[in-house]
Amino acid sequence: MTTIGIVRHGITEWNRLRISQGCADVPLNDTGRKQAAAIAQRLAEESPWDLIVSSDLSRARETAEIIAEKLQMPISRLDQRIREISCGEIEGTTEAERLEKWGADWRSLDLGMEKTEDVAARGLAFIKELAEQHPGKRILMVSHGALIGLTLQALLPDQFLKTDLDNTSITILEQAEGLWQCPLYNCTKHLTALQPME
């Protein structure tokens, strides 16, 4: 059986302020680093992992680096294919700013956003490639909320009609004999000791 543990990056200041990030390279804030340390500690105490891959955006990469240091293993690959959805012109804006600039129907405008089906396709292709290249291994993948959610919806549409991923949540995918299942979704039990998020 091949296991892929998918971790969403730690929180950033833009997450906290509800600013659209997309592919903007926003770093973790201090809380995000504490979250990353918490998931790293949890992963170190659970079953061992064989390799780590990550999005190349700094918030995911730093989360992966904190995990890799704790697990005493290198990051095998940084890959643009598991970047967050590109949000075009809305990157760097809040909902209030979008309403002011483009009006209530801004979602229907062509503002250069990447199509969700394209995000799902690249996430799905990446997951399947990991499973093909590393059969029987336990792989950690650090990525982003929309990318992870859209990939899950494409891979297991009956299970995931919608998704909502918390920062540093872990979701487990397992593949055996060509069949995928998700025995753990959006688990954040490692964050219970941290102070409540703002």
Cα distance between residue 175 and residue 198, in whole Å: 37
Is 152:186 a contact under the CB 8 Å cutoff? Answer: no
9 carries an active-site annotation: yes
Backbone dihedral angles phi then psi of residue 95, each to the nearest 5 degrees: -60, -40
Backbone dihedral angles phi then psi of residue 75, each to the nearest 5 degrees: -80, 120
From the candidates 9, 62, 91, 144, which is the catalytic residue?
9
CA angle 40–46–52, rounded 5-degree value:
50
Q: What count of Cα atoms within 13 Å lies in the side-chain half-sphere of residue 116? A: 11
Cα distance between residue 115 and residue 109, in whole Å: 13
Which is it for the CA torsion 53, 46, 185, 95, positive or negative?
Answer: negative
84 carries an active-site annotation: yes
Three-state secondary structure call for residue 170: strand
Cα distance between residue 162 and residue 172, in whole Å: 17
From the candidates 62, 65, 84, 91, which is the catalytic residue?
84
- Record the tokens describing residue 23, joined without a space: 């592919």
Q: Which residues have a catalytic role annotated?
A: 9, 84
